[in-house]
Amino acid sequence: MEIKRVVVTGIGAITPIGKTVPEYWDGLRNGVSGADRITRFDPEKHKTKFGCEIKNYDPLDYFEKKDVRKYDLFTQFALVSADEAFKDSGLNEKNFDPDRAGVIYASGIGGINTLASELEQFYTRFDKTPRFNPYFIPKIIADIAPGLISIRYDLRGPNFSTVSACASSAHAIIEAYNYIRLGLADIILTGGAEAPLNEPAVGGFNAIRAISTRNDDPKTASRPFDKDRDGFVMAEGAGTLVLEEYEHAIKRGAKIYGEIVGIGATADAYHMTAPHPEGRGAAKVMELAIKDAGIKPEDIDYINVHGTSTHLGDIAETKAILKVFGDSAYKVSISSTKSMTGHLLGAAGAVEAIASVLAINNSLVPPTINLFNRDPEIDPNLDLTPNKPKEREIKYALSNAFGFGGHNASIIFKKFEQ
């Protein structure tokens, strides 16, 4: 079987630091924090009162009023980023076969906003017959996002959702990559969306002590690798990539951002929420991606780490990097863009894959902001790109995503060479 090359021909993003790709990249290179007090509900009674929301988001800027009622917020974000990516790719009804174009799209939680609000209304309608909105089920299921994207663009190929907690959209990209490189599709829109800033989600993550409670200083609360970090900052948004078979992209004269050359997927097989303390699964997944790419560890120029700002996670991931890269670990640039965007849960892998592609195209490593007091448990010689971006040529970038349950995913992007 001939293995096909897979390139990125379109990108779209709606994030807490920018509602378009250019705005997102501007936020990354300037070290902007997207964290602030939550406005989607009154957070006063919660231990955590802040998060990374999409700023000045009005669904009526993107959708008809009748459609807003049909779409959960996570689906809205998915459609907004998909629209930017599709337009960016230059695809139209004349330059691709819809039967060989699909959508593989992720969400870790799906329509939790709808679930929360509908249950609250159901149990408080004491004076009336309790009933649910007719769109209740379609709004909450995670796979409605790829379904609606396919309907919008008449994409009739593979269509499904992947769910693996915070690795969900990275796994979606991996699945899309495999479909194309095996010759089963020409084009896949892939990525992920999440909208978890509501009372049950914030309360639930507070209960397991996973998120920061730095309410007095939200903008510096996401501080990966800092010894004073106290958990991640929950975020919302979406990222979409158009993956395309190389020859197909060349034939239609597509703009090419980069090429995917290696992927890996493993499990920690260790704990429900904690990573393996020595980064066992994280190390193996990077090794697999590097092997799949047919390169050596020293060829990697930049690692966009999972880097959530949790005590156990940051240490385990840096241990894994040292195990895989050896002495070359000190030559690679490392950064956590979650220090700026917060943690988009199931959408994180896609948004950070886009950051990796943009880093390659701009020869610029985004910074890890809020790194004030480096954790002494982390090797002091690792280049964590503290607080300021770094100019350097990037030929290969590796993007990591890890999820509760021990799910690990790594993707390697390469600078495009025809």
Note whether residue 1 is domain-resident: no
Confidence check: pLDDT of 125 > 80: no
Residues 265 and 247 in one domain: no
Note whether residue 383 is domain-resident: yes
Residues 300 and 382 in one domain: yes
Domain boundary among 188, 217, 251: 251
Question: Catalytic: which of 171, 276, 306, 407?
Answer: 306
Note whether residue 256 is domain-resident: no
d(Cα 369, Cα 379) in Å, to the nearest integer? 18
Residues 99 and 23 in one domain: yes
Residues 35 and 182 in one domain: yes
Mean pLDDT computed over 368-382: 97
Check residue 126 and give its pLDDT: 64
Q: Does pTM surpass 0.75?
A: yes
In single-letter form, the type of residue at position 86 comes to F
Residues 210 and 322 in one domain: no
Question: Catalytic: which of 46, 52, 166, 407?
Answer: 166
Residues 246 and 325 in one domain: no
pLDDT, tens digit (0-9, with 9 covering 90-100), for 143-199: 999 999 999 999 999 999 999 999 999 999 999 999 999 999 999 999 999 999 999
Domain boundary among 230, 251, 272: 251
d(Cα 355, Cα 394) in Å, to the nearest integer? 13
d(Cα 261, Cα 26) in Å, to the nearest integer? 27
Total tally of structural domains belonging to the chain: 2
Residues 30 and 179 in one domain: yes
As a whole number, the mean pLDDT across the chain is 96
d(Cα 105, Cα 393) in Å, to the nearest integer? 31
Residues 154 and 286 in one domain: no
Domain boundary among 251, 276, 296: 251
- Closest of 255, 308, 236 to residue 53, by C-alpha: 236
Contact 210, 321 (CB under 8 A): no
Query: Where do the H-state alpha helices sit in 214-336?
Result: 246-251, 280-293, 311-325
Residues 163 and 246 in one domain: yes
Task: Check which CATH number belongs to the domain holding 142 and give it.
Answer: 3.40.47.10
- Quick one: tokens of 358? 């943009």
- 200: number of Cβ within 10 Å: 15
pLDDT, tens digit (0-9, with 9 covering 90-100), for 88-113: 999 999 999 999 999 999 999 999 99
248 is catalytic: no
Contact 354, 239 (CB under 8 A): yes
In single-letter form, the type of residue at position 26 comes to D
Check residue 120 and give its pLDDT: 82
Confidence check: pLDDT of 128 > 80: no
Residues 247 and 367 in one domain: no
Q: Which domain holds residue 339?
A: 261-414
Residues 164 and 271 in one domain: no
pLDDT, tens digit (0-9, with 9 covering 90-100), for 261-309: 999 999 999 999 999 999 999 999 999 999 999 999 999 999 999 999 9
What does the DSSP 8-state code read for residue 242?
E
- Quick one: tokens of 254? 């597509």
Residues 269 and 346 in one domain: yes
306 is catalytic: yes
In single-letter form, the type of residue at position 90 comes to G
Question: Catalytic: which of 46, 171, 276, 343?
Answer: 343
Note whether residue 167 is domain-resident: yes
